[in-house]
Structure 1
Amino acid sequence: MADWIRGHWSIENKVHWVRDVTYDEDRSQICTANRPEVMAALRNAAIGALRLTGVTDIAAANRHHARDSTRPLALLGIT
């Protein structure tokens, strides 16, 4: 049971907390149709892509990639 609880909080800390704090998801005004789910999926994809490359500071990585439009494409292997 303790392993399950630790696993649950690991997911909470790695994904949900990042979405809440870094992307300020709780204050998002996107609220019609399926748009909230689409945005959550896009945020999860961005977090996953960054984590696959070894990034631990998602906020810093977002700032880094936002400075040059070719960086996100290079991260995804699209150049």
Structure 2
Amino acid sequence: MTFAEDTSRIRTGRGPENMATWRNHAISTLRRAGHRNIAAALRHLSYRPHTRPLDLIGLL
């Protein structure tokens, strides 16, 4: 429920499958970076949204 899956309005075609893939990718990236609590990791990243996510994947 961290990504508000229940409120998603994507319900047709390949949309739900694609969103699940992106969510799984985000969770895997956070876990590889050493985060165990996904909600806490997302809060931490949201404090500086223009730089921390890029640091996480090694682009800065």
- Give the TM-score, by structure 1 length: 0.66
Moved over 6 A (4+): none
Unaligned segments of structure 1, at least 5 residues: 1-20
Separation in structure 2 between the aligned mates of residue 67 and residue 35 of structure 1, nearest angstrom: 29
If asked which structure has higher relative contact order (CA below 8 Å, sep 6+), I would say 2
RMSD of aligned C-alpha atoms? 1.3
- Alignment deviations for residues 8-61 of structure 1 (CA, whole Å, 9 cap, x no partner): xxxxxxxxxxxxx21232332111221111111111011000001111110011
Structure showing greater radius of gyration is 1
**Greater fraction helix:** 1
Alignment partner, residue 76 of structure 1: 57
- Give the TM-score, by structure 2 length: 0.83
Unaligned segments of structure 2, at least 5 residues: none
* Number of aligned positions between the proteins: 59
